[in-house]
Structure 1
Amino acid sequence: MDSFRIGSKSIGEGHPCFIIAEAGSNHNGNLQQAKILVDIAVEAGADAVKFQNFKADKLYPKNAGKPGYLKSEKPIHEMIKTMEMPQDWIPELAGYCARNNIIFISTPFDEESADLLDPYVEVFKIASYEMTHIPLLRHVARKGKPLIISTGTANMDEVRHTVDVVRHEGNERIILLQCTASYPAALESLNLRAIKTMRQTCGVLTGLSDHSRDPVIGPCAAVALGACCVEKHFTVSNLLPGPDHKFAVEPDELRRMVQSIRATEACMGAGDKVALEVEKELRIFARRSIFTVNRIKKGEKFTCENIAVLRCGELGYEFSPEEYEQVLNRTAEIDIAENSLLKREHVVW
């Protein structure tokens, strides 16, 4: 599929990159902070702001242990419990987003959350660790809305299977996001060429969910590789408590990311190799033509001692440099001054 719509936005080839500002759980359980995150995303120019809806009891067993990757002594179930977003926030945040002209998205991590979100979202986002949760995938795919699926930790066989599951439910509106499940992800681990590989292999739109700390390099390189969607975690401040704040970008960085993506898109052009209007002056001024380097009398032959291929400056353009050898040994029709642009009427043909 070349393109489809999410709300008022067209997504796909030939359309602006769909930029998702990932608030996630960086609201820290405070509705006002969640709204501040929406405000930051709006001010930055993002197309959508995304939250997460999960229940600790539906993610991990209570004895699942400690998350070594977060360097925390707190059990993962206990940590996740503190990050839950209250269900009654959903209509409140969706309405706040609508009033501020930004698309509301929230990732469901279970079927109940998907059902609660359904009336309020125009697209579903599937987290990397849920892409192999086939019952959830089927449940969400049947709702008929576009699916954006992150692919962190996955191999290509798993990606293919995920796409097949969604398509089997009659849903073709899929965006796969290349993602590196590391927090933060080193730039050299982003594997951005997978964006193209997944697009070619699965025949779907692709993009990037970027966990690197840099606000520009990964997103802009992804767009240059054809990403139609970029997602990036952001926060009010890296100093806030919580597992996702430290690797998220801050408000000024989010704004810079959006501006850089739009500048990258402008750089890409249409792909046709043509002389541009902005090049018109230098196409004449700095390209070469044939000039006299000595005074030449009528009837005198043109030689490599009295003519040369030089840049034109303000003197105009006549002969192409490739015509130089055709002019050599021909004779002058008239007297020609030194440093003159050689014209066709100057040559006896």
Structure 2
Amino acid sequence: MKIGTREIGKGNPAYIIAEMSANHVGDIVRAKEIIHAAKEAGADCVKIQTYTPDTLTIDCDNSYFHISDGTWNGENLYQLYQKAYTPWEWQGELFEEAKKAGIDFFSTPFDNTSVDFLEEIGIEFYKIASFELVDIPLIEYVASKGKPMIMSTGMATLAEIDEAVAAVRNQGNDNFALLQCASAYPAITDEMNLKTMQNMGETFGVPFGLSDHSMGSVGAVTAVALGASIIEKHFCIDRSIENPDSSFSMNPAEFKQMVADIRQAEKAIGCVKYGPSEQEKKNLQFRRSVFCVKDIKKGEKLTEDNIRIIRPEYGLQPKYFKEVLGQTAITDIKRGTPLAFEMIGRE
């Protein structure tokens, strides 16, 4: 997958997304602050969401539209989205702010009108949210724009993911990635099943990653160790600024530490390499070798009493020990001398 000039996939650093979502709390100044804080924390990209309450649901108060448990227990869907949405009139300005900050910027559209709007402001790639993975008409419309796409797969069966992937590819778009996701807020690491992420990549032949709603960075770092090319985390200035997403968002210090841990994990993964590393080379001297452990006179035979395999490594390699036993010293050898072939011979 390619986003702009950035290659996403095996052999490249993980692409790290800071999800703003509702953490702006209705304040464009804070939204801009989040963009710059995300850049400072090491994010590659800031993501927003493009919807209004009316593009997601209807203003209805019957039981179908009420949340009865979890983080948003007691909320009415329409009222929740009213609190959480990012005003469309901000979004072009936020896009420009991201350009100034030197960080990528994209959005999750939730209906065709939001796609049309994002096309107008020049958004260069798209996200499909887990809950919209079953909205095949929306996926087809987004894919028809021919731009890179990232699709989250929370709750989805393999068959549902297959349908979504087919919808993208049927539009001639093969520039996309899939994210494993636990659609719980916050999610628990016990139920991440990160091996599914790897299997998705193998099954569909695309880059894969993790949209992580858990607290902490264990899931994200582990995902990268398992081959994730994309990590997405909710990002806020301060969790004490309450909003629908604050309770499961990372603050700048936490996000920065996560990025550092991911980058260190990538270095630790490294490549296939045998033999001593640069750091290890200076310690080769502490390997074992064959040393004379008693004074040996010229003409005296080598025995297990006067030579031993000990540290350090200046003498013959241990594999020659049995070969030299019984051979004769051709010169006097002092105790503590590393044994060399030039010192011995056969009668």
- Deviations along 1:114-136, one digit per CA (max 9) or x if unpaired, are 11112422211110111111001
Match of 2:133 in 1: 131
Instruction: State yes or no: 1:148 paired with 2:150.
Output: yes
- AA aligned to 1:114 is V
The alpha carbon displacement at 1:268 in A equals 1.6
Is contact 2:2-2:175 (8 Å) kept?
A: no
Q: Distance in 1 between matches of 2:305 and 2:198?
A: 55
Match of 1:301 in 2: 301
Comparing 205-214 and 50-59, the one that deviates more:
50-59
Match of 1:258 in 2: 259
The alpha carbon displacement at 1:7 in A equals 2.2
Comparing 152-161 and 12-21, the one that deviates more:
152-161
Q: Distance in 1 between matches of 2:25 and 2:173?
A: 34
Instruction: State yes or no: 1:248 paired with 2:245.
Output: no
The alpha carbon displacement at 1:157 in A equals 2.0
| 1:1-349 equivalent positions in 2, closer than 5 A | 4-61=1-58, 62=60, 63=62, 64-67=64-67, 68-118=69-119, 119-214=121-216, 216-283=217-284, 285-312=285-312, 317-349=314-346
- AA aligned to 1:86 is P
Aligned to 1:308, what secondary structure does the other structure show? Answer: strand
The alpha carbon displacement at 1:57 in A equals 2.2
- AA aligned to 2:338 is L
The alpha carbon displacement at 1:55 in A equals 2.1
Is contact 1:223-1:265 (8 Å) kept?
A: yes
Aligned to 2:47, what secondary structure does the other structure show? Answer: strand
Q: Distance in 2 between matches of 1:277 and 1:237?
A: 42
Aligned to 1:129, what secondary structure does the other structure show? Answer: helix
Q: Distance in 2 between matches of 1:327 and 1:143?
A: 75
Q: How many percent of aligned residue pairs carry the same amino acid?
A: 40
Is contact 1:90-1:120 (8 Å) kept?
A: no
- AA aligned to 2:237 is V
The alpha carbon displacement at 1:71 in A equals 4.4
- Deviations along 1:234-280, one digit per CA (max 9) or x if unpaired, are 11111222221011111110111111111111212122223222211
- AA aligned to 1:340 is T
Q: Distance in 1 between matches of 2:170 and 2:315?
A: 64
The alpha carbon displacement at 1:210 in A equals 0.6
Is contact 2:13-2:229 (8 Å) kept?
A: yes
Aligned to 1:140, what secondary structure does the other structure show? Answer: helix
Aligned to 1:12, what secondary structure does the other structure show? Answer: coil
- AA aligned to 1:103 is D
TM-score by length of 2: 0.94
Q: Distance in 1 between matches of 2:201 and 2:46?
A: 24
The alpha carbon displacement at 1:94 in A equals 0.5
The alpha carbon displacement at 1:185 in A equals 1.1
Unaligned runs of 5+ in 2: none
Q: Distance in 1 between matches of 2:126 and 2:176?
A: 10
Q: Distance in 1 between matches of 2:275 and 2:104?
A: 38
- Deviations along 1:266-321, one digit per CA (max 9) or x if unpaired, are 212122223222211112x2111101111111222211111111111xxx534211
Total equivalences in the alignment:
341
- AA aligned to 1:337 is K
- AA aligned to 1:155 is T
Is contact 1:21-1:50 (8 Å) kept?
A: yes
Q: Distance in 1 between matches of 2:127 and 2:289?
A: 59
Comparing 163-172 and 266-275, the one that deviates more:
266-275
Q: Distance in 2 between matches of 1:274 and 1:168?
A: 48
Aligned to 1:145, what secondary structure does the other structure show? Answer: coil
Comparing 131-140 and 56-65, the one that deviates more:
56-65
Q: Distance in 2 between matches of 1:60 and 1:323?
A: 79
